[in-house]
């Protein structure tokens, strides 16, 4: 590869909002056989909205959850806070806040332990038949469901919807057509992940993955494939650096952007297709 051809390649891609850090990255892109996607903020908008609250006392559940989430930076936290604001719910003071990556958050409110999070946090805690039913139904609709609990009891569910970006389906279908393996790798629950995957045309789903396990999965896949990982979050940085090509969303966290060899400034998965086509053109020309 001649440096001039590479520079032309990367310059043209920059105009399409695809920043490629150097020529070696572009050469790796030319060899890709698999693309692995994070879900939240990558395939989806990352702008989740609360759609349902299931509880005996919905207002109380929203108040407790929002009071905890005020200290969290997770996209789900913003959704819960926005809902609380819209409903004019006053937030309660919390103490001893703890955030468990990929699981949820806990704190004390009026000396009671309150938590908001997924089933990793509530494993042994009892769930009523009614809540269990709602949990399944909401997840099948592609909604992320978090449990809200107080003193080890689950007292309600909050369902949050995060729609796929408009271009995700088109981009993934183009990658499928080019013969690349497309995979979703997410911390969210299997049912939700599968519903979203189906919407955008991804056939392989690895769900319920803790942040630390994302890089491990990429490592395994690399034994048989040349792998790109596309992500946006703080949690995604290890997977971005482990992949043969790390592709970060421009809207992502600073650490994700630093970890990526490619940055998609338009936050649009069609950028992955652009990068592929560009590498094909570049290396076809200079061969």
Nearer to ligand ADP, 76 or 269 (CB): 76
Burial letters 217-248, b for 16+ CB under 10 A, else e: bbeebeeebbbbbbbbbebbbbbbebbbbbbb
The sign one gets for the Cα dihedral 248, 253, 256, 262 is: positive
Nearer to ligand ADP, 180 or 193 (CB): 193
- Among residue numbers 185 through 224, which ones bind ligand ADP (CB under 6 A)? 186-188, 211
Q: Which two tokens stand for residue 113?
A: 């332990």
Cβ atoms of 45 and 167 closer than 8 Å: no
Nearer to ligand ADP, 40 or 279 (CB): 40
The catalytic residue among 30, 38, 188, 244 is 38
Nearer to ligand ADP, 118 or 282 (CB): 118
Question: Is residue 165 involved in binding ligand ADP (CB under 6 A)?
Answer: no
Chosen from Mg ion, ligand ADP, none, partner binding at 187 (C-beta under 5 to 8 Å by type): ligand ADP
Q: Which member of 41, 238, 260, 271 binds Mg ion (CB under 5 A)? A: 41
Chosen from ligand ADP, Mg ion, none, partner binding at 253 (C-beta under 5 to 8 Å by type): none
DSSP per-residue letters across 90-111: PPPP-EEEEEETTTEEEEEETT
φ/ψ (deg, to 5) at 254: -55, -40
Which DSSP helix (H) or strand (E) runs through 184?
Answer: strand 181-185
Q: Which member of 10, 13, 40, 44 binds Mg ion (CB under 5 A)? A: 40
Distance in Å from the first CA to the final CA of the chain? 7
| 38 belongs to the catalytic site | yes
Number of C-beta neighbours around residue 31 at 10 A: 12
- Nearest approach, Cβ of 280 to ligand ADP (angstroms)? 30
Task: Kindly list the residues in this chain that would bind ligand ADP in the complex (CB under 6 A).
Answer: 38-40, 69, 72, 74, 76-77, 102-105, 116-118, 144, 146, 186-188, 211, 233, 235
Q: Which residues are catalytic?
A: 38
Task: Kindly list the residues in this chain that would bind Mg ion in the complex (CB under 5 A).
Answer: 38, 40-41, 232-233
């Amino acid at each position: 590869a001649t440096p001039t051809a590479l520079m032309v390649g990367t310059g043209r891609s920059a105009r399409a909002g695809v920043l490629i850090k150097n020529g070696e990255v572009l050469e790796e892109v030319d060899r890709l056989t698999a693309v692995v996607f994070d879900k939240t903020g990558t395939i989806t908008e990352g702008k989740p909205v609360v759609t349902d609250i299931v509880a005996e006392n919905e207002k109380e559940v929203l108040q407790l959850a929002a009071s905890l989430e005020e200290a969290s930076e997770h996209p789900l936290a913003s959704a819960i806070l926005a809902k609380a604001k819209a409903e004019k719910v006053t937030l309660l003071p919390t103490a001893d806040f703890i955030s468990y990556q990929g699981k949820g958050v806990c704190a004390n409110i009026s000396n009671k332990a309150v938590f908001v999070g997924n089933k990793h946090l509530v494993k042994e805690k009892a769930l009523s038949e009614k809540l269990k039913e709602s949990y399944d139904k909401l997840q099948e609709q592609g909604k992320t469901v978090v449990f809200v609990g107080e003193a080890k009891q689950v007292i309600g569910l909050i369902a949050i919807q995060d729609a796929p970006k408009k271009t995700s389906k088109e981009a993934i279908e183009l990658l499928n057509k080019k013969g690349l393996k497309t995979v979703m790798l997410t911390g969210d629950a299997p049912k939700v992940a599968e519903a979203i995957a189906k919407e955008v045309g991804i056939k392989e789903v690895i769900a319920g993955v803790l942040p630390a396990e994302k890089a491990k999965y990429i490592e395994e896949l690399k034994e048989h494939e040349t792998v790109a990982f596309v992500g946006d979050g703080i949690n995604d940085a290890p997977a971005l650096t482990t992949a043969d090509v790390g592709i970060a969303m421009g809207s992502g966290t600073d650490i994700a952007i630093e970890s990526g060899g490619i940055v998609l400034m338009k936050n649009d998965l069609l950028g992955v297709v652009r990068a592929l086509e560009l590498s094909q053109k570049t290396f076809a020309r200079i061969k």
